């Protein structure tokens, strides 16, 4: 076992902006048929969370994650550009993932101004691409994204079993030089049932990675528990959009 979770003094809350067809949406358990649309103006959503104190945003190209065509992804990339413009105005940073499966795609979003690109499916299907990306951009500009269900990694927008336990994948990524990990419990995502903190902490303890928890945040107690567990941060989606968690309360 590697080092226990770090005591992150710079614990971050990441408001989520999930994009589908250029709209801000949330899915339940990653199911594209269970979608709630919250806004048709992603830049306005970004402005809202940043004005309340957020220093990072977590943006997801859902169409890219589902493997849609470049034309179908174009509205999301246009939305990303608008979000980046807003974030740069206030000195905030953006973490972005969803469908980043080539070096050219990764380079494109990093050149647009994304601070950290999140790689998911390629970790399982194209492990050599991760090696190349780490060599080109270094571990500070990249994060691994492991979406897990029943302890196993999912790929292709959570739609397929990746054929490897999430814990085994996380430990192998750490050995390859990855530093950041976004860990999502698919079964809880979008349900506000609370973080799967035991599984997330186990991943952090055994891998030694800086782990950002995702999936199921219910209220501010989840954030305090995640920080106490030594995690690097938490991604919050539905709880913010539904008003169950208020950023001003966290940053006050």
Residue 226 structure tokens: 């995640």
Contact 37, 24 (CB under 8 A): yes
Residue 232 structure tokens: 């690097």
Burial per residue of 74-88, b for 16 or more beta-carbon CB atoms within 10 angstroms, e otherwise: ebbbebbebbbebbe
Please report, for residues 63, 66, 77, 115, the alpha-carbon distance to residue 108 in angstroms, rounded to integers and kept in the order given. Answer: 17, 19, 10, 12
The domains found in the chain, sorted by start residue, are 12-251 (3.20.20.70)
In the chain, the percentage of residues whose pLDDT exceeds 70 is 94
Q: What is the mean pLDDT of the chain?
A: 91
Return the pLDDT at 150.
85
User: With bands split at pLDDT 50, 70 and 90, how would you rate the model's confidence at 4?
Assistant: very low
C-alpha–C-alpha distance, residues 126 and 155, integer Å: 12
Evaluate if residue 2 carries a pLDDT over 50: no
Residue 3's CB: how many other CB atoms inside 10 A? Answer: 12
Evaluate if residue 47 carries a pLDDT over 90: yes
Catalytic residues: 18, 147
139-190 per-position pLDDT tens digit: 999 999 999 988 899 887 666 677 899 999 999 999 999 999 999 988 776 6
Return the pLDDT at 27.
87
Residue bearing the bigger pLDDT, 239 or 158 = 239
Residue 197 structure tokens: 């903190």
Q: Helix axis angle, 197-207 relative to 166-175, nearest 10°? A: 30
C-alpha–C-alpha distance, residues 93 and 58, integer Å: 9
Which ranges of the chain would DSSP assign to H, the alpha helix?
A: 42-51, 62-65, 70-90, 103-112, 121-125, 127-137, 166-175, 197-207, 220-228, 238-241, 247-251
| Residue whose C-alpha is closest to residue 245's, from 89, 69, 13 | 13
User: With bands split at pLDDT 50, 70 and 90, how would you rate the model's confidence at 6?
Assistant: low
């Amino acid at each position: 076992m590697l080092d226990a979770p770090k005591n992150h003094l710079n614990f971050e809350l990441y408001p989520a902006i999930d994009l589908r067809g250029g709209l801000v949406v949330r899915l339940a358990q990653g199911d594209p048929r269970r979608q709630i649309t919250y806004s048709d103006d992603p830049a306005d959503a970004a402005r809202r969370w940043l004005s309340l104190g957020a220093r990072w945003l977590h943006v997801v190209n859902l169409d890219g994650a589902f493997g849609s065509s470049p034309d179908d992804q174009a509205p999301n990339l246009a939305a990303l550009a608008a979000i980046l413009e807003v974030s740069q105005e206030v000195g905030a940073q953006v973490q972005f993932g969803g469908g980043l499966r080539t070096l050219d795609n990764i380079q494109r979003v990093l050149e647009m101004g994304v601070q950290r690109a999140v790689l998911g499916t390629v970790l399982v299907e194209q492990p050599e691409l991760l090696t190349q990306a780490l060599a080109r951009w270094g571990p500070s500009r990249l994060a691994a994204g492991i979406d897990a269900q029943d302890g196993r990694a999912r790929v292709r927008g959570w739609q397929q079993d990746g054929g490897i336990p999430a814990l085994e994948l996380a430990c192998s990524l750490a050995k390859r030089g990855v530093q950041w990990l976004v860990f999502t419990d698919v079964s809880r995502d979008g349900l506000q049932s609370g973080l799967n903190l035991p599984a997330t902490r186990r991943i952090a303890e055994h891998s030694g990675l800086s782990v950002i928890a995702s999936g199921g945040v219910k209220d501010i107690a989840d954030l305090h528990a995640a920080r106490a567990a030594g995690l690097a941060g938490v991604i919050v989606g539905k709880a913010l959009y539904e008003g169950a968690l208020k950023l001003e309360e966290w940053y006050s």
